[in-house]
Amino acid sequence: MIELKNVSKFYYSKGMIASGFSRVNLKFDVGEFVVITGESGSGKTTLLNVISGLDSYEEGELYIEGKETSHYLASDFEEYRKKYIGNIFQNFNLIGSYTVYQNVELILRINGYKKEERKRKVPAIIKRVGLSKYAKTKVSKLSGGQKQRVSIARALAKDTAIVVADEPTGNLDSKSAEGIVQLLSEISKDKLVIVVTHNYEQFAPYATRTIKMHDGKVVEDERLKERERNSGEARENRTFTSGNMSVGSKIRLGVRNTFNILPKFLLLLVVFLFVVLAVSSEYTTLKNSEAEAAKMGYNDYFNNYSEDRVILKKSDNKSFTEEDYAKLQAAGNIKSIVKEDVLLDNMLYLEDDEMAYQGYPRNLSDFHGTLEAGRMPQRENEMILTGSSDDYYFQKENVERILGKTYTITMGMDYRVKLKITGVAYEDSSSNMYFYGGNFYISDKMLNNMVREAYGSGSQVTTIVNNNALVYQAGEQYYRIVQNSEVKEGEALVSEELNSYYENGKAAGREIQVKAENIFYKRSLDLNITQLYNKKNFTEKTGLKNFENHDGAIFVSKADYKRLFKAADYQVSVYIDDMKEVEHTISSLEKMGYTPLALKDTLVGMNSEMLAIIQVPMAVFLIVAVFFIAYFVVQLILRSRASYFSILRMLGLAKKSIRRILDVELFVIVNLAYGLFLAAAVLVNCDIIQFEYLKTLLAYMRIMDYGILYAVLIAMSYLISGKFARKLFKKTAMGSYREEE
């Protein structure tokens, strides 16, 4: 069954080499009851460990059923122990937190016995060693002699070809010892039993062979009598087989191990709660930094870029109707709707000798504040001026000075209108940190004119002059279209410069085509050039004085200007009430047939770039740091479980199975920690409990983020499990066990 040829075992410690035993040559067969004796330190226990595959050997060859084992890996020896070896350890190597029944049943689970077989075999084996009334008692509460009986019962339950016992009667009284020796003698008739003992007299009447060791060498090997075999059975020819632990058993053991040692369970739960809070806290910090950076960003196209503003246009590019406004109002999470949206990005300027102020035009119907001074507008040329209470012009001593006064309001290069301030109110009008101003609440008619002017300045305008395309560039003055009351409908007043586009040098009487195009519509007008202007006759022709600011402009009638730049509401802005739900709101708006643009996603700036360069890697670094902190703490806690997993190895359980049991154990704890976190989140969000830290933590968490957090926790637990398992299997089963003792 087993043969050793010149086998030696050495130990390496702190640069020193010690011999466990050297050049041992032995053969063992089924039916033998072998007793190995010798003084302490003679190498007998080491020899037993090598025979049972718990320890490696450095020299010679160990044969199992004629097969060499020098090439065996740790996994091969685990399979060997599971298939061939039943161990009875001197220090029991039982699992103290398990009951007697669970300790004996464990070996059957490892060997793949089904539930029905386990229920049948375990009680019978426990009865055989006289512990039936202790079946449900935890092993930690048993006496030394009782623990030894459990160890023997476990070896019997395994029903392997070989039973090795290290001082099996060392903790028993003489009467109990006699019963155990008889039991070992009986089972040796169809097994190979090898016993290491200091008390040879107890085993002498039953031993078939005795081996004596001294100073790591076999000094005596005497056969006392022939092997005995049970009649009718050739057990030495029996093939011993073992199954694999089922998935259900791995899960059962993992769940059992989670809760069977309460202090360990609570410590692990606290660690993973810390991981949950640390990871979510770091995520929240990053999101908060992004939000703050967004507020400090800028946008070259939009002037009013409040983070809660979402710009909408209809997917079919048609104008908004009252039905659309009603749908938006009912959409949910909409704080307010701004109909004349294009005006939010076209600033009005108020300036005279005593005052200079800027703001955005807003519809008078959108004003829902309280006037600090004055009255509501009653005429078309009246307005409400709002701004911050900290602004110089809104100090109480200055409000009376501007109230009731008429100012010239300008927008863009050409639009001028006189408006009277009848009311003043305090209002923080923009979250744009670069904007210092307020809002101008004015009538519908004035707004329509401004909307038209906004489309005029925001459209691409092309004038076709004798097949030449003259393109107006935004911000420039050449070829821009300007409305003028001195020009008749269907006619155009142009600069004399256009004469150069005709062969005879005369543009008068010729037709031109003006095209306006923007993201919403295309329009064109055919106009007749009836007059031309130059610097000398500019004021006479237009009624305007500043030639330099208008040189190159194309003047048209107010009616034609209205046709070219229709004052319809093609673009609307909505302001979000709860920014945490902004993505969901945008998705809902898309389903309603609108094309949304969240301005928070359009802002750029050094802060966002610095965030990507510094804070994102820092967040990754901190999460990795949390992983290692958690790993080292979990490792310390699991060290109390290392002896448990080492025992499983001694009993023949493979690395993969042990890893899965550990995976289940950590998986259960992670899910409990995550479940507690979710429960706390629900209670905080429902205001059932008040916990400001957690409330702040959850402010930026979305449904997807909860999923990502869960995935991170599972990944961390899996990595911790793998790292711990790799360390556990770096040494032999016995070496690992000694390290953890």
**Dist CA 518 CA 479 (whole Å):** 17
| Pairing of β 209-214 and β 33-37 | parallel
165 pLDDT tier (thresholds 50, 70, 90): very high
Domain layout of the chain by residue ranges: 2-242, 256-290+607-740, 298-339+570-603, 341-453, 460-564
Burial class of residue 146, CB neighbours in 10 A (0-12, 13-18, 19+): buried
Judging by beta carbons within 10 Å of its beta carbon (0-12, 13-18, 19+), is residue 145 exposed, middle or buried?
Answer: middle
**Tens of pLDDT, residues 89-141:** 888 889 988 999 999 999 999 888 899 999 999 999 999 888 999 999 999 99
Same fold, 2-242 and 298-339+570-603: no
Tokens describing residue 306: 């409040």
Residue 88 backbone phi and psi in degrees, to 5? -120, 110
Collapsing DSSP to helix, strand or coil, 288 comes out as helix
Could you report the per-residue pLDDT of 341-371, keeping only the tens digit for each? 888 788 889 888 778 888 888 889 888 889 9
Q: In a 3-state reduction of DSSP, which class is residue 142?
A: coil
Give the strand order in the sheet containing 572-576: 334-338, 572-576, 309-314, 594-598
Q: 2-242 sits in which CATH class?
A: alpha beta
Question: What would the mean pLDDT of 418-441 be, rounded to a whole number?
Answer: 77
Q: Which helix (H) or strand (E) holds 423?
A: strand 415-426
CATH code of the region 298-339+570-603:
3.30.70
Q: What is the pLDDT of residues 251-299, one digit of tens each?
A: 999 998 888 888 888 998 998 888 888 888 877 777 766 666 656 566 6
Cα 485–491–493 angle (5° rounding)? 70
pLDDT in tens, 186-196: 888 888 999 99
C-alpha–C-alpha distance, residues 576 and 574, integer Å: 6
Q: How far apart are CA 716 and CA 671, in angstroms?
A: 12
* Long-range CB contacts for residues 375-379, cutoff 8 Å, separation at least 24: 375/422, 375/423, 376/422, 376/423, 377/422, 377/423, 377/441, 377/442, 377/443, 378/422, 379/420, 379/443
Indicate the DSSP class of residue 619. H
Tell me the pLDDT tens digit for each residue of 209-259. 999 999 999 999 999 987 766 544 444 444 445 678 889 999 999 998 888
Q: Please give the Cα distance from 513 to 524 (Å, whole number).
A: 7
CA 97/CA 77 separation, integer angstroms: 27
Beta strands in 584-682 (DSSP E): 594-598
Q: E strands within 466-533?
A: 468-472, 481-483, 491-495, 511-517, 522-533
Model confidence, pTM: 0.59
